[in-house]
Copies of this chain bind each other. A is one copy, B any other.
């Protein structure tokens, strides 16, 4: 069987870790891949650990014992995070995004995997030391952010639907008041989506009144789930008082500026600590 050189193993290890952050790999798994002794892999992991720290990629956690192994936790440095937020601000504030009625066209951003990956990296870094079982979002625009955050935290996603679907099996439905329009709306989630007593991170693209996030919090109570936190990509500066509490946002939009034909958006002070 083939043998690999040390720098090949280091390269392959980093590739495998980067593609599956927060995933616990056993030493035996690597012994098999590289056809190498556990002591060799341990030395490789020590080198990778140092490299990850020196390059500010996050950290490597080693867990000893029979069910132990190695895990890469990806965490953005504050400089990288602030660079991402600044890039997002210039992207979101492009003038030609203003639509009739004072709406902003953001669909291309929320469907661009490269940008969404950066957004997800910011969110997952914020929650990297929390225990989370599921990401929960509501269709449609928040799904890519939810999926990529789930990928980085290595947890499944549950997508709340606006309507009941026959392919979801038995569902729990709730009514909620949209914070910005005061309309009553319905959301449904398949009963199979979540296990009991789950720890939840709610993720959404946009928060104005906070009614949708409040609705998701209410839905989580129906599942006996505990909301660990809520992350939205953009919140509007007004109304100042939102229906949801205990949330972080990446960006804050001055929604009264749009009437004048400008989009004023800046990194959220909640993140710049």
Chain A residues in contact with chain B, CB under 8 A? 2, 4, 6-8, 10-15, 17-20, 23, 47-48, 50-51, 54-55, 57, 99-101, 103-108, 111-114, 116-117, 139-141, 143-144, 147-148, 150-151, 154-159, 161, 166-169, 190, 192-193
Contact = CB atoms under 8 A, between A and B. Distances in A.
Nearest to A6: B7
Nearest to A115: B156
B156 A111 contact: yes
A272 to B, nearest CB: 24
A54 B2 contact: yes
A58 to B, nearest CB: 10
A94 to B, nearest CB: 12
Contacts of A18: 14-15, 18-19
Identify which of A48, A150, A167 gathers the most chain B CB atoms within 10 Å of its CB: A167
A14 B157 CA distance: 28
Contact of A54 (B4, B19, B103): B4
A36 B4 CA distance: 25
Contacts of A144: 143-144, 147, 157
A161 B148 contact: no
Number of identical monomers bound together in the oligomeric complex: 2
Nearest to A112: B156
A163 to B, nearest CB: 10
A17 B15 contact: yes
B156 A107 contact: no
Contact of A157 (B7, B112, B158, B169): B112
Contact of A105 (B12, B13, B190): B190
Contacts of A15: 14-15, 17-18, 57
Given A100-B169, A101-B166, 7 more contacts: A7-B51, A99-B166, A99-B169, A103-B167, A104-B167, A139-B140, A143-B143
Nearest to A116: B147
Given A105-B190, A140-B140, A169-B105, A111 B7 contact: no
A69 to B, nearest CB: 16
A117 B160 CA distance: 21
Contact of A113 (B48, B50, B157): B157
A55 B13 CA distance: 11
Contact of A148 (B113, B167, B169): B113
Contacts of A8: 10, 47, 50-51, 54-55
Closest 10 pairs (CB-CB, A-B):
A113-B151, A11-B14, A7-B7, A18-B18, A14-B15, A113-B150, A10-B11, A111-B157, A15-B18, A144-B147
